[in-house]
Structure formats: structure tokens, C-alpha cells
Structure 1
Amino acid sequence: MTAAPQPQETPLLLDRLLANFETRATRTPGETVIVAGERTISAGDLDARANRLARHLQSLGVCPGVYVGIGLGRSVELIVALLAVVKAGGAYVPLDPAYPRERLDHMISAAGLKLVLTRPELAGHFAATAVDVTDAALDELPAAPVTSFATPDDPLYAIFTSGSTGQPKAASVFRKGFANLLDWYLAELGADNRSLVISSPSFDLTQKNFFAPLLGGGLLVLDEGTTYDISRINGLIRSHGITLVNCTPSAFYPLVDADAAALASIRFAVLGGEPISIPRLRGWLESGIAEVVNTYGPTECTDICAFHRLHRGNLDDFGFVPLGREIPNVSVTIRDEDLATIPDGELGELCIAGAGLGGGYLNDPERSARSFALAGGIYRTGDLARRLPCGTLEFRGRADHQVKVNGFRIELGEIEIALGSHESVREAVVISKDGRLIAHVQGTAADLKAHLATKLPAYMIPGEFVYRDGFPLTPNGKVDRLALAEEHRPHASSRSADGTILERILALWGELLDKEVTDPEANFFDLGGTSIHLAVMHVRLREMTGRDLAITDLFARPSAKSLADFLSPQAATTTSTAQDRARLQQAGLARFRRPSPR
């Protein structure tokens, strides 16, 4: 039973939603709308600052169809910049300052960005004219609202995703699609939520969470931390009475595992980007009234196309977590390779149409034509799915080599091309196994991690490298990726839980990384450890040792031996100087500056 298209509001007006915030700023100008660390900002001040910056942007030529880069982390200034671009009528492109300069340069060039909104200390990261959002001269401009002249068919933002040709691609989203998303989001989950944002500004799922609390009447709380710290995040949830958090499942599980009681105020955990494990969340869901909202949708189609609400009353209805049903004004169909629709129950490619359909890839009509059947108005996701008799959608995997690791969508071909650019690499194949990236390399290069760090963001760098003389082949002569994956079976640790502190750390690493770890000098991050793994280890080590550790202590000691030495009883009685501790922590953080998979 294919879902019938729902009546579409015409037009879908983002300006109407912006007007809601402007009304809020007028009626309750002193109401706090954003909390970021120790800073807060009221509705009146936020609206005034955004209007002044929007006026300045219009004087610089920003208008409908013009893209503006935003190079800022989670902060009050970031939200001012986002609102200003939208009010000015332009479209924004989030740029993570933590990305390698080469990648940022490509993104700026590919999107044709002339302006980047940032702070003076970050301006050197961007090869474009920097606009200082903290410039005191902006305070002299009128704070009255500006006229944007934008229409529902104008672009709102473009998000860069991993590209199979070796370069990231920028998927654009229309204002009407985002307005449709916000209408559903606020109606489905409520307009008065206290929302915590822990995900990257460059992540597609983050965008709605910046706007929904402001435009709907809720509170926006921003985690300003640059590392994923379970204690800090759970502390924010508890202290601010957070009711909604949106992130990947991989980022949410550790919060539940560490301190489920801290999540007592949560009404909705909106999860997306990865399949959800019911066993990981069963205890938490059965003990309260919270719901998990499984959301599905590609960046190219405005983040969410289908959803399923999971709560203690329906945990076992399907035996898995389905994609669910379409949001209003979005159509999902299952088609064969010729784009003909197929009967319910049969496996095919999931295709999307309707209000969420984006504008394709910036300045890349050929790639857009391959993914968007523009004449038919549909997007080919490359995801395999089927529609069950009850109308619910079930995800069945990918049709190509695109994968999701910690919620980030990654084209393995992009990593392979980056590896192949090293002069000592003859051939490279990258696979995803149990949530980690593994590079198989034919060649002699020993500095591949450093090489990739100049070309790719940290979440795309494999944690394990296997050097080999050749590759297994399928009967038709192609690399047998399944055979490569079979070489990486999980190893259970045989070490006793009551062994030495070094043995217990190695055993814990093996459990977290799902493989045997024997080298006490190996670097945790080189073995495939991520910020989420480190956060879980932080909690486990505090339980194991009874010591009040800081997560920076772990960053500063990335080998099992250095960590064991630090945690040994003898070390616990030795007091290091504040300067020594600061030096170690700074060295560790510099070693692992990478975006969280929030």
C-alpha cells in the first residue's frame, strides 16, 4: 500500500516562520532564547544583531541565490550569522574550521563563495573575504528588519557531503523544503522544547535544531565543547532540563550507558544517520516516557523524509527499527533500476520526491543528473528498501559503496582516491567493518595517516591500514570487498578483569575497538579510536580506578602504557605541576583535533 501524497501548502514560507521569531522578539525581548556555555542572549538582542548583520550583508551584495560561507563553531555568533544570511535572502554553507585547509579551499572554490562569516582568529582558515561577525561597527547599523526578496524556490543552504570522485560535493536545499521540514518537526514534537545541539554545524541534521527552538518558541542550548565529553553533555542535559536532543545513535548510546538518570528530562531523542539498536536503548525506554524518533533522509532531500517513533509500548512491533512513514508533502517510492515502481514487499531502490527535493549539487550539473531524475522530479538515494503491507518502510542496506560511520555519510572512493595520490601507493581499497574504516594498501608508504590528514576531515581517515602485495578478486576480475571484510573478524580479549592495570586497559581497548590489542605503545587513535570511544573509555576508567579523571588526561596519554603509568597507584601519589599537566593536555588535544560525530 503505497502512501498517497499529502496535500501541499502553497507556498511553503520560511518567511512566515521567521516572522514568528520577530514577533517573539517584539513581545518578549528579554526572554533568553540561547544558552552557550556561560553566555546567554535574549530574543530582542538576537533579532537586533541578526538584522544589523543582514543589512551589512545586503550592502555587500548578498541576495537570493548568493551563497555565503559560515566558518564558526557552536556559539551565539554562529546563530547570529545563520539568521542574518537567511534574513538577507541569501544561502549559507557551513565550513568547519577544523577541516584541513586543502579541503576548505576546495569547498570555498566549488561553492563559489566570496564571503565567509567568521571571527578574526579563524579568518586565516578561509580563502575568501572574511566578514567579522563580532565587528563593533555593526552596532551602528539600524536594527530594524530587512526585506529579503527571497522566494520559496530560492536556496537556503548547501551542505558538503563525501564525494565518490575524490572531492566533496555540495547539496543545495530550497527554502520551501526547509519550511516544510520545520512545519512537521514543530508540529510532531512540539514547539516548546528545550533543545541541546551537540552535532557539528556542518552536519545536515543540525540545521533544523538551530532554527526550530527559535522559530517555535523553545530554548536553544549549544554545547560549546570541542571534544565529545559524556560528563559535560549529560551535565548540560541535567542542568538545563533538556527535552530534545538530535544526534547519531553512536553519539547517544554512551550518554545512556554512562548516566541514564541524567536524561530524565528528555522527551525526544531524535536519532538519524545509522541503524538503531533496540537492545542498547530498551532499558532506558522501558523505564520512562521518553521516545526515540528514528529519522531517515539524505542531505539532498532536506534531511528528513521519513520517521518512526519508538517508545516502550511498541519496541517489539517489528523486531527492528523501521524507517517509518513519510513526513507531510514528501513522497517515497520503491523502484527498480529503470525507475519503474515495484509492488509492496519487493526490494528496490528508495526514491524521494515532493517538497523536500533539493536543488542538486552546486556547479555540478552532470553529477546532479545522475542522482536526480529531474524530469520526473525524484532523487535516487542508492538505498535498498521495501514497503511492508502496513505501509511502513524497511531499510535493507546500500546499493553501492557509500557507507555511514558514526553518522557521517562517506564515499569510500573519496578515501581511496586520496590514498592513491600518495606516490608510494599503487592501489588502495577501503572497507567499512563494524563501524570502522580499514584501508588495504598495495605499496610501501608508511606515512599515510599524515598524508590523508592534509586532504580529508578526521572522521574519514581510516583507523587501520593493512599493507599487502595484491587483492582477492571476484570471478569477473573486480576486487572482492567481501573477502577483504571477512579478514577482519572481531577478536575477544582473553585477559582477566583482575590483571594489571596495563592488561585491563588493553582488554578495555580490545572491547571498545572490537579487536585484539597487544602493543602497549600503540596509539589509541591510530588503532581506530574515535572521540566517542574515548568518552566511553573515560567513564569505564573512572569506574575501574575510582579516580576523578578529566577526559583531557586521556587525550594527553594515547598509548596504553602511558595511561597505565598515569593510573598506577604510584603515579596517583605523585603530584605533577600545573604547567606539566597543561603541556601534556595541549599536546594530546593537538594530536586529536577532530570533529565529533554528533
Structure 2
Amino acid sequence: MNPISLRRNLAALFEARVAAAPHAEAVVCGEVRLTAAELNGRANALARRLLTAGVGPESPVAVLMERSADVAVATLAVVKAGGAYVPLHPAYPVARMRAILDQAGARIVLTDTAHAGHELAEHAASLTVGDDTDPENPGLDIAADRLAYVMFTSGSTGAPKGVGVTHRNILSFAADHRWREHDRVLSHSSFAFDASTYELWVPLLNGGVVVMAPPGAVDAGTVARMLDDERITAAFMTTGLFNVLAEEAPELLARIPSLWTGGEAAHPAAMERIVLADGIVHNAYGPTENTTFSVSYPVEKPPSGAVPIGRPLDAVGVHVLDGNLRPADEGELYLTGEQLARGYLGRPDLTAERFVACPHGEPGTRMYRTGDLVRRLPDGDLEFVGRADGQVKIRGFRIELGEIEATLARHPEVAQVAVLAREDRPGDRRLVAYLVPRAADAGPGADTGELADRVRRAAGETLPAYMVPSAFVVLAALPLNHNGKVDRRALPAPETTASGTA
């Protein structure tokens, strides 16, 4: 495969791949196996339908479908037509989908057969992906700086905000040298989660294969079958999913040649299990506003403490700055470079607040203010410290929840942990810890109350009293949201006693 050119567009790069190796496998999903030429032909036919429906440069096109080969067809078709795809998760409430369509200005929804009669059909024109093929590429002249997709994330005001990502952003990301051996990539993330950018475009643009998991949640059995049947060489898992599988089947994850995880602070014990099983795991960090991953760190030996987030990808610049935007060893992380998104769709105010002028680059250089605190280690790696705005206040003390979670996670009987500041009764604001015991300690007859007491006592040995949670809830598993991250809103209220079980 020729090096990715940042002056071209996604459609042209994929079409070059098709010309070079038309019969090479490109997408696998169960019994459906599409060659590069077959995927291209189906995407061409759908792109022409979109053009007939009025899709033009940067037209937003919503995509609502379950995980299948049709997702790849739809994604490619939208960019071939010059539009920008807007992913929707099928589990989203209809009201949220409508809000996203309104904010994006999408008047067309692409669906699979299962969602052809969705309620959104009353809100926008609906097109269903078909099996038609067309050997002729639309051949549109699409500039690299045109929008390719708009990914909606939660906003601080409670309304979702759309991050506008361009062709050049994705090309810069997909060209990174880290992806050279990512030739059979497991695709299991929600299409509405930015990890799908990695799972789709990295293999499609580099001559690899998108290997899609069956619809539904991914578990150890699914991963095992796909490793055996489809020879997976690379996969990304959110921290929540990674922690679960690292506890249940570390030897299984160690079989994945290039295993990546991220989304939340790394769990050192989970990383250690993979390394001890003779595997390597890459700890990745990156906001949607910088096209998925920004920095990464290969964990090749058991971590002795916090796991660094590492060093920047090829197209990413990093700055650690203090409150006066001066370089610092510890401060807020700012990102620059070719992966930096255009901004928030239709929100110039919010864009101006987060995408700011860079005082340490060429005139006109922008940087994204992540809101995350990091420290630069002596060897140049970055270490995540916490959120700049992630502090809570309990009884007058300012507390960083990440520090408490890291302390509890070091307990040998704990597999996963989350800490919240809750106010279930007005005026009674307190810290609550949620613990998932290691499998060996969670069998029949295990006393969860005793586990909570042991973890509390251990925490009291290293944390000041005001940082030790006043309630502990032991769960069989932490609830995950559609993107595989811990769903903190779904964590139950504790019992009225100091230690709770659930």
C-alpha cells in the first residue's frame, strides 16, 4: 500500500486500494465477506442514491444501523457522495436522536432493514442500504479539509455537541506508523463512539480487513471465537471492557498481537495480568476532538505504579501548560497537529472556548484545551493526573476522585473500582466507592461486607480520612454505557449503613 497522502480524500485513497488489489478481503461480518471491489461497488451504488437525494459537499447524513457490513458500505458511500456521516446508536432515546438530527441539520437517515421503519423516518427522509453495485466511482473532487463525519458527545450543558472531523484529520490518524501490523482489526465498538474511526478507517485505508463482531455485547467467548476463526491481529477495548476481560481471561487477551485500551484511567492490575500472560497492551488516550487516539504507551512489563499514557502519535503535538499557558512539568494538556478537528458543528462559541490560539507554534496554529491534567515524566512520557475540572468538594476539602480510585484499585482483592460524590439526601454529600471483587474472591459464600471493610482499612493507610469513602458498594460488575465506559449514572445508591452490598 502506498503511503497515505494528506492532500487526497478518503474515497480516493480507498479507490486506489481497490485498483491495486480488487480481490483482497476488506470486510468480514459472519458469513458476509466483501472484497475491496465488492465493498467499493456497493458503496458506489449507495453514493449515487445519496447524490440523487440531494447530498452535496458536507451534507450531514445520519446513519442508524446495527453492527454489520452495511456500516462499512454506508460510511464509504457518504464520503464518496461528499457528505459527512452522523452516527446514531440504535439504543439512543428517540428524543436524543431527533436532537442530534436537528443540531446537525441532517435531513436523510441511512438505515439497515431492521431500522427501516424507525420513528426517525417521520423526522427525516429514510434510505435503506441495499445490495446494488456500481463499478463506476462517483469521482467527485472532494477537498481534504471537507468534513467526513460529525460525532456527537455529551455536553456540559446537558445537550450533545457535534465534533466535526475532516478527511485530512482521518488520513493523518490512519497514516500513523503504529498501524503497520493492524491488518485484521476487530470492529466491535458502537459506530457512535470515536473508536469506530480506528476500527474502520485504519484497515480500509491501509489494505487491511475490518473484522466485525456479531451484534450485541462482546465477551470473552466472542473474542476467543474471532481469534480462532478470523485471525484478529489488533483490537481496541474501552477500559471498562478491558478490565472485565483481563480479569476473566488474561491469556485470551494476551493472544491479540496488538491490543489497545483507553477511555478512562488505566487499571495497573489489569495491565499486569496481560503482561504476566506474555502479552503487550497499549494504553491509549485521546479526545474525540483530536480524532480518536492522541498518545499511547506500550505496557511491556508489570507496572510498578500509575501507567503512563505515553507519547504522541505521528501527527499530534502536545503541550503541557500552566494557567498562564507557559510550559510546565505538570499542567493542563493541550493538543495540536493535523488530527485536530475543525470544531463543534454550529457552535462557534464553544469552539472558540476549547480550540484556542497556540502561543508556541507558527502564527495561526490552533490547540485544543483538553481539560485533563498530566505530568511529563523524566523520560518524556506523559502521565495522566486527573481532570482540571474533575475535583469535588466534601466538607470544605477539594478532592480528586481519580486519586481515590487509583488507591482502591491497588488492593489485591479488587478487580474494578469507581468512586462518586453523591448527594442522595439534600445536604448529605459523601464519597461512595463501588467495588468489583476479583473472580477468585467473589465465589459463593464470599462476604462482601468484609471485603468492603478490608478495602476501607487499606485505603485509610494511605489516604487522609476525608478522602476515604464513607460507603462501599460491592457489585458483580460495573454498569457500562453504549460506548463501553462506566455508566456512572447507573451506579446504585448505597445502603444507609457505612458498608453496602448490591
Whether these two folds match at TM > 0.5 is yes
Letter aligned with residue 391 of structure 1 = G
Kindly indicate whether residue 427 of structure 2 is the aligned counterpart of residue 470 of structure 1.
Answer: yes
Amino acid at match of 1:48: G
Residue by residue over 1:308-350, the C-alpha shift from the partner in whole angstroms, topping out at 9 and shown as x without a partner, is 22213xx44x733212122223211122233x2223x2x2111
CA contact (8 A) 2:170 2:201 kept: no
Task: Find out whether 1:104 has 2:97 as its counterpart.
Answer: yes
Equivalent of 1:225 in 215, 218, 230: 215
What SS is found at the alignment partner of 1:435? strand
Equivalent residue number for residue 216 of structure 1: 206
Is 1:341 aligned to 2:331, yes or no? no
Q: What letter matches 2:295 in structure 1?
A: A
- Give the CA deviation at 1:168: 1.0
Q: Structure 1 or 2: larger helix share?
A: 1
Letter in 1 for 2:144: P
1:107-118 alignment runs, 5 A limit: 107-118=100-111
Alignment partner of 2:66 out of 56, 70, 73 = 73
Partner Cα distance (1:399, 1:152) in 2: 34
1:262 paired with 2:252, answer yes
In the other structure, the counterpart of 2:335 is 352
Distance 2:87 2:126 in 1: 14
2:187–2:210: 8 Å Cα contact kept in structure 1?
A: yes
Q: Deviations over 1:540-570 (max 9, x none)?
A: xxxxxxxxxxxxxxxxxxxxxxxxxxxxxxx
Between the aligned partners of 1:491 and 1:322, the Cα distance in structure 2 is 23
Q: Which runs of 5+ in 1 are unaligned?
A: 1-8, 404-432, 441-465, 473-483, 518-523, 535-598
Shift of 1:22: 2.7
1:258-314 C-alpha deviation (Å, 9 max, x unpaired): 3344345411111121122232232432443x42122221111111222222213xx
| Paired position in structure 1 for 2:407 | none
Equivalent-residue separation in structure 2 for 1:167 and 1:497 (angstroms): 41
Q: What is the CA-CA distance between 1:386 and the residue it aligns to?
A: 2.2
Q: Distance in 1 between matches of 2:258 and 2:18?
A: 26
* Contact 1:115–1:128, Cα closer than 8 Å, also in 2: yes
Please name the residue that 2:87 is paired with.
Answer: 94
Provide the residue aligned with 2:308 in structure 1: 322
Specify the code of the residue in structure 2 equivalent to 1:373: V
Partner of 1:152: 144
Deviation by residue 1:98-120 (Cα, 9 ceiling, x = unmatched):
10011111111111111111124
- Retained in 2: the 8 A contact 1:242–1:265? no
Please tell me whether the aligned partners of residues 354 and 368 of structure 2 are also in contact (alpha carbons under 8 angstroms). Answer: yes
Say if 2:235 and 2:258, in contact at 8 Å, map to a contact too: yes
Matched, 1:61 2:59: no
Match of residue 369 from structure 1: 352
* 1:12 alignment partner in structure 2: 6
Name the CA shift for 1:269/1:507 in 2 (closer, same or farther; >3 Å): farther
Say whether residues 1:38 and 2:31 are aligned partners: yes
> 2:457 maps to what in 1?
none
Over 3 Å counting, the alpha-carbon distance change for 1:217 and 1:328 in structure 2 is same
* Percent of pairs with identical residues: 33
Cα separation, partners in 2 of 1:281 and 1:26, compared to 1, 3 Å: same
Counterpart contact for 1:14–1:178, Cα < 8 Å: no
2:78 to 85, 106, 120: 85
| CA distance in 2 between partners of 1:274 and 1:174 (Å) | 25
Q: In the TM superposition, what whole-angstrom CA distance separates every residue of 1:187-234 from its partner, at most 9, and x where no partner exists? A: 223155211112111111221211221221222211122234331232
* 2:377 corresponds to 1:381: no
On the 8 A contact 1:18/1:215 being kept in 2, the answer is: no
Question: Which one-letter code corresponds to 1:396 in the other structure?
Answer: V
User: Counterparts of 1:267-278 in structure 2 under 5 Å?
Assistant: 267-278=257-268
Q: Which residue of 2 aligns with 1:178?
A: 170
- Report the equivalent of 1:580: none
- Cα offset for 1:438? 7.0
- Residue pairs, 1:273-292, within 5 angstroms: 273-288=263-278, 290-292=279-281
| Distance across 2 between alignment mates of 1:311 and 1:492 | 26
The CA deviation string for residues 356-404 of structure 1, in whole angstroms up to 9 with x for no partner, is 211111111111111111565111111111223332222110011499x
Partner of 2:188: 198
Q: Which of 1 and 2 has greater Rg? A: 1
Aligned length: 432
On the 8 A contact 1:171/1:299 being kept in 2, the answer is: yes
Aligned-pair CA distance for 1:169: 0.7
Instruction: Determine which structure has greater relative contact order: mean sequence separation of CA pairs < 8 Å that are 6+ residues apart, divided by chain length.
Output: 1
Of Structure 1 and Structure 2, the greater strand share is in 2
Q: Does the CA-based 8 Å contact 1:176-1:355 persist in structure 2?
A: yes
Query: Any conservation in 2 of the 1:324–1:393 contact (CA below 8 Å)?
Result: yes
Once residues 227 and 4 of structure 2 are traced to their aligned partners in structure 1, the CA distance between those partners, rounded to angstroms, is: 38
Looking at structure 1, the residues matched to 112 and 180 of structure 2 have their Cα atoms a distance apart, in angstroms, of 34
Q: Deviations over 1:555-592 (max 9, x none)?
A: xxxxxxxxxxxxxxxxxxxxxxxxxxxxxxxxxxxxxx
Scaled by the length of structure 1, what TM-score is found?
0.65
Distance in 2, Cα, partners of 1:360 & 1:278? 34
Could you tell me how far apart the structure 2 residues matched to 1:498 and 1:273 are? 26
The code of the aligned residue for 1:296 comes to Y
CA distances 1:158-209 after superposition (whole Å, capped 9, x unpaired): 111111111111111121111110000xx22315521111211111122121
Which amino acid counterpart does residue 55 of structure 2 have in structure 1?
A: V
* Aligned CA distance change for structure 1 residues 376 and 19 (closer, same or farther; 3 Å): closer
Q: 3-state DSSP class of the match of 2:165?
A: strand
The residue number in structure 1 matching 2:462 is none
Task: Check 1:221–1:382 CA distance in 2 against 1; reply closer, same or farther (3 A cut).
Answer: same
**Residue 26 (structure 1) shift:** 3.9
2:464 match: none
What TM-score do you get using the length of structure 2 for normalisation?
Answer: 0.77
**C-alpha distance 260-117 of structure 1, shift in aligned 2 (>3 A):** same
How far, CA to CA, are the matches of 1:168 and 1:402 in structure 2? 23
* Residue of 255, 267, 283 corresponding to 1:294: 283
Conserved 8 A contact 2:50-2:78: yes
Going from structure 1 to structure 2, the CA distance change for 1:36 and 1:299 (only over 3 Å counts) comes to same
- Decide which of 148, 155, 158 is 1:166's aligned counterpart: 158
Residues 438 and 30 from structure 1, CA distance in 2 versus in 1: closer, same or farther, beyond 3 angstroms? farther
Question: Which whole-Å CA distance do the structure 1 matches of 2:186 and 2:127 have between them?
Answer: 27
In 2, the alpha carbon distance for the partners of 1:402 and 1:40 equals 49
